[in-house]
Amino acid sequence: MHSIVDAYSRFPKADCGYCGNPSCITALRRHCSGEMPLDQCIFFRTGALDPQSIRCPPATESSGVPGISYINPCPSDAHAVTVEVSLASGEHAKHGYYDMVTLDRILGGHVPSLKVSPSLGMARIELEGRSIMAFGEGRILIRRALDEEDALLQLSRAMRQLWAAVN
Which residues in this chain contact ligand SF4 in the complex, by CB under 6 A?
A: 12, 14-19, 21, 24, 27, 41-43
Q: Are strands 122-127 and 77-86 parallel, antiparallel or unpaired?
A: unpaired
Q: What angle do CA 152, 131, 95 make, to 5 degrees?
A: 80
Q: Which is nearer to other proteins, 6 or 42 (CB)?
A: 6
Q: Which is nearer to ligand SF4, 27 or 162 (CB)?
A: 27
Where along the sequence are the contacts to other proteins (CB under 8 A)? 1, 75-76, 115-122, 124, 131, 133, 135, 139, 141, 143
Task: Please choose which of other proteins, ligand SF4, none residue 65 contacts, taking the beta carbon within 5 to 8 angstroms, the exact cut-off set by kind.
Answer: none
Q: Which is nearer to other proteins, 5 or 38 (CB)?
A: 5
Q: Which is nearer to ligand SF4, 18 or 133 (CB)?
A: 18
User: Can you say how many angstroms the Cα of residue 93 is from the centroid of all Cα atoms in its chain?
Assistant: 10
Give the number of other CB atoms < 10 A from CB of residue 78. Answer: 8
**Residue length, the chain?**
167
Task: Write down the least CB distance from residue 20 to other proteins, Å.
Answer: 31
Task: Please choose which of other proteins, ligand SF4, none residue 76 contacts, taking the beta carbon within 5 to 8 angstroms, the exact cut-off set by kind.
Answer: other proteins
Task: Write down the least CB distance from residue 36 to ligand SF4, Å.
Answer: 9
Phi, psi of 80 (to 5 degrees): -105, 165
Q: Which is nearer to ligand SF4, 40 or 119 (CB)?
A: 40
* Alpha-carbon distances of 13 from 48, 115, 150, rounded to whole Å: 13, 22, 40
Task: Please choose which of other proteins, ligand SF4, none residue 133 contacts, taking the beta carbon within 5 to 8 angstroms, the exact cut-off set by kind.
Answer: other proteins
Query: Rg for the chain (alpha carbons), in Å?
Result: 18
Q: In angstroms, rounded to a whole number, what is the distance separating the alpha carbons of residues 144 and 3?
A: 29
